[in-house]
Amino acid sequence: MSDITIEQIDEFRWKIPARGGMRVPGLLYASERLMRDIRKEESPRQVSNVAHLPGIQGASMAMPDMHWGYGFPIGGVAAFDLNEGIVSPGGVGYDINCGVRLLATNLKYEEIQHDLKSLVVALFNTVPSGVGSRGTIRLTRGEVKKVLREGAQWAVGHGYGTPEDLTATEDGGVMEGADPDCLSDRALERGLDQLGTLGSGNHFLEIEVVDQVYDREAARAFGIEPGQVVVMIHSGSRGLGYQICDEYLARMVKKRQSRDFDLPDRQLACAYIQSGEGREYLAAMACAANYAWANRQVLMHLASKVFQSVLDRSPRDMGMRLVYDVCHNIATIEDCLVEGVEKRVCVHRKGATRARPPGHPALPDRYRSVGQPVLIPGDMGSGSYLLAGTEQAWRETFGSTCHGAGRVMSRTQAKKVSARRSVAADLEKQGVIVMASGRGTLREEIPEAYKNIHEVINVVHEAGLSRKVARMKAVACIKG
Amino acid sequence: MAHPPYTITDHTADLGLEFYGTDLEDLFENAGAALTACMTDPETLSFREEYFFSAEGGDREELMVNVLRELLYLANGRGFLTKRVIIDHLDEHRCSGRVLGETFDADRHAITQELKAVTYHGARVTGGDAGGLKGQVILDV
């Protein structure tokens, strides 16, 4: 890391001056303590690499949960001019529209405490999880194309949820411009049987209890209060999304020599937004984004059904309601402030979350006065956060904030340090019941493998990129 | 002492994989075996089925990644687990061959790790310490 110059701007902002082929500076959000780990790894270099890409606006940024990715850093945010800029499949990631949704209930912890184990077992048996898991929904090729065009609307139209859910989903749960003809047969095939499946790795479905409220006005607008039971779901576009990213990346790597610019890392392969390839990638990416929204909509429906059957109460009686759904691996064409001027750009958020400010016209009426709900999952032991978007983020980061805790420990290292203990038993002592399909998943996902989520949240809160609204503590978790 | 056939290296969010070969053909064959070893125990696999594959690439790193991408697609898209790779043709820009192995069977096989993708980030082919070649890729998990 020695050849990357990092200058401290203030307590939470660090600048990488534009040098060599960098078209803009790099801007890192972190505390001194987080910087100690960040300096040791490759993410600052990756921030600098992204700054080389044509048409980049303002700065190449990274949120405090940043860590070494491939090409773009995880936690990276970069916006590109629509005429001169590029779109990069690696800047979105393999799991296109990986994201989080939060389902609120009016249940108190005491009301589910005695049924918690039954709930976890029933969720584990009902929600397909694990490597290559297949769903109960089998789609024909024609039907999967409808999912790809209609996103969460398809799911609601088929009885998985209600129209109100769509108003609580980013972009109404459907990204415009999706064209299934831009997908290969391989990608389409992988979408036939994975709708309504959680997947593996860090994806999860968690029952959480609100343990602290920081901003009462925003919490009220979001319908959140202390002691309340909520459900958080983290999943994405499954094999279909991986296949799309993989194939478009390969196409763009192949054509790299015909570009008029050099790439510091092959994984940054990209195409001009206005080129045929660029447009086709965006149309294919939109398909995966829609598949992911439909997926999380179906997953939420499955969770809601489990609550109904185990607790023997109706969804209305339990006050079940989607608070919000955000994606954190995506490129979107949106109007943002670029150095003080509103401009339509292509924002890449790779492990970063959109966070729109109070008053933004795209927010549902009930949230407009307080800003967009932002959902930040933590590790299994530390809990998760509900934040709200701010004016500051709108001015500074194209309306973006962090997406999670961010790893500090590799998966192999995590397995090694947890080799002699029972992760499930340790978590149970902390009051979290966990069930996982994969043998190694719990070991890889031990709380110590992640940065301190409270520290990450503190940085975005203090830097003004989003406002703390509430904290949720997990009481049960199912993982792939 | 001979090199171990592969090593898993640390990468914060993902998985680094190193493998070795006496020449490029041997390297690619070992790369395929190493990829399988990241996903499942190769000892549980038998030679029941055969698939053909082919890949192209502008240089040997791109070609290596593209061969592994094909094998990973067979695993993730078709459920086919490769026990052994046999290269039939290899030149500067093209590689084709066969993979022997079998279709995933939940009763006999366990997937220990889901691999999402083989990335181009940090993909390298270099001379190995004791002669021969060393290949490196980072896998998205």
- Token readout for A229 is 């039971």
Q: Residue ranges of the alpha helices (H) in chain B? A: 24-39, 60-78
Inter-chain CB proximity A95 and B69 less than 8 Å: no
Give the residue from B18, B9, B85, B73 showing the smallest Cα distance to B45.
B85
Tell me the sheet residues that pair with A372: none
**For chain B, how big is the Rg over CA atoms in Å?**
14
Burial class of residue A462 (count of CB atoms within 10 Å of its CB; 0-12, 13-18, 19+): middle
Q: What pLDDT was estimated at residue B8?
A: 81
CA distance A72 to A29: 16
Tell me the sheet residues that pair with B89: B96
Cβ–Cβ < 8 Å for B102, B36: no
Inter-chain CB proximity A94 and B117 less than 8 Å: yes
At residue A345, does pLDDT exceed 90? yes
At residue A263, does pLDDT exceed 70? yes
CA distance B93 to B105: 35
* % residues pLDDT > 70 (chain A): 99
- Report how far apart, in Å, the C-alpha atoms of A396 and of each of A28, A77, A90, A352, A393 are: 12, 11, 23, 14, 5
Mean pLDDT score, A89-95: 96
Q: What pLDDT was estimated at residue A448?
A: 87
Inter-chain CB proximity A254 and B111 less than 8 Å: no
Q: What pLDDT was estimated at residue A134?
A: 84
Cβ–Cβ < 8 Å for A274, A83: yes
User: Looking at this protein, which amino acid is placed at residue A204?
Assistant: F
Chain A residues whose C-beta sits inside 8 Å of any chain B C-beta: 41, 67-71, 74, 90, 94-95, 131-132, 186, 189-190, 199-201, 239, 242-243, 245-246, 249-250, 253-254, 256-257, 265-267, 269, 407-413, 438-440, 480
Q: Which of the four pLDDT bands, split at 50, 70 and 90, describes residue B3?
A: very low
Of A94, A410, A480, Cβ closest to residue B11: A410
- Please state the pTM of the whole predicted model: 0.96
B95 and A CB contact within 8 Å: no
CA distance A249 to A255: 10
At residue B95, does pLDDT exceed 70? yes
At residue A261, does pLDDT exceed 90? no
- Report how far apart, in Å, the C-alpha atoms of A459 and of each of A7, A280, A405, B38, B111 are: 17, 37, 12, 36, 38
* % residues pLDDT > 90 (chain A): 82
pLDDT digits (tens, 9 = 90+) for A410-431: 888 888 888 888 888 889 998 9
> Which domains, and CATH codes, for chain A?
7-479 (3.90.1860.10)
Q: What pLDDT was estimated at residue B129?
A: 66
Interface test with B, best of A267, A328, A408 (most B CBs within 10 A): A267
- B58 contacts in chain A (CB < 8 Å): 253-254, 256-257
Q: What pLDDT was estimated at residue A459?
A: 98
**For chain A, how big is the Rg over CA atoms in Å?**
21
Q: What pLDDT was estimated at residue A317?
A: 96
Inter-chain CB proximity B10 and A253 less than 8 Å: no
B1 and A CB contact within 8 Å: no
Q: Which of the four pLDDT bands, split at 50, 70 and 90, describes residue A283?
A: very high
Inter-chain CB proximity A265 and B121 less than 8 Å: yes
Q: Return mean pLDDT, chain A.
A: 94
At residue A399, does pLDDT exceed 50? yes
Which of A158, A403, A454, A461 does the annotation list as catalytic?
Answer: A403
Q: Which of the four pLDDT bands, split at 50, 70 and 90, describes residue B99?
A: very high
Q: Which of the four pLDDT bands, split at 50, 70 and 90, describes residue A439?
A: low
Of A186, A200, A267, Cβ closest to residue B119: A267
Catalytic status, residue A301: no
At residue A292, does pLDDT exceed 50? yes
Long-range contacts of A159-166 (CB under 8 A, 24+ apart): A159/A301, A160/A196, A160/A297, A160/A298, A160/A300, A160/A301, A161/A297, A161/A300, A161/A301, A161/A322, A164/A321, A164/A322, A165/A297, A165/A300, A165/A322
- Report how far apart, in Å, the C-alpha atoms of B85 and of each of A137, B36, B67 are: 35, 10, 10
Inter-chain CB proximity A253 and B62 less than 8 Å: yes
At residue A257, does pLDDT exceed 80? no
Q: What pLDDT was estimated at residue B14?
A: 79
Of A68, A267, A480, Cβ closest to residue B13: A68
Of A131, A190, A412, Cβ closest to residue B114: A131
Q: Which of the four pLDDT bands, split at 50, 70 and 90, describes residue A262?
A: confident
Q: What pLDDT was estimated at residue B1?
A: 34
Cβ–Cβ < 8 Å for B71, B35: yes
How many of the other CB atoms lie within 10 Å of CB of B94? 13
At residue A2, does pLDDT exceed 70? no
How many of the other CB atoms lie within 10 Å of CB of A250? 21
- B105 contacts in chain A (CB < 8 Å): none
Interface test with A, best of B76, B103, B116, B124 (most A CBs within 10 A): B116
pLDDT digits (tens, 9 = 90+) for A295-329: 999 999 999 999 999 999 999 999 999 999 999 99
Interface test with A, best of B69, B114, B124, B137 (most A CBs within 10 A): B114
Q: Which of the four pLDDT bands, split at 50, 70 and 90, describes residue B135?
A: very high
CA distance A21 to A366: 45
Inter-chain CB proximity A269 and B12 less than 8 Å: no
Q: Report CA torsion sign: A243, A247, A377, A449.
A: positive
At residue A1, does pLDDT exceed 80? no
pLDDT digits (tens, 9 = 90+) for A152-201: 999 999 999 999 999 999 999 999 999 999 999 999 999 999 999 999 88
Of the options 3.30.43.10, 1.20.1250.20, 3.55.10.10, 3.40.630.10, the CATH number for the domain spanning B8-108 = 3.55.10.10
Q: What pLDDT was estimated at residue B24?
A: 95
Inter-chain CB proximity B117 and A246 less than 8 Å: yes
Q: What pLDDT was estimated at residue A215?
A: 98
Q: What pLDDT was estimated at residue A70?
A: 86
At residue A222, does pLDDT exceed 80? yes
DSSP three-state, residue B110: coil
B96 and A CB contact within 8 Å: no
Pairing of β B124-127 and β B117-118: unpaired
Helix %, strand %, coil % of chain B (to 5): 25, 40, 35
Q: What pLDDT was estimated at residue B13?
A: 67
Q: Return mean pLDDT, chain B.
A: 91
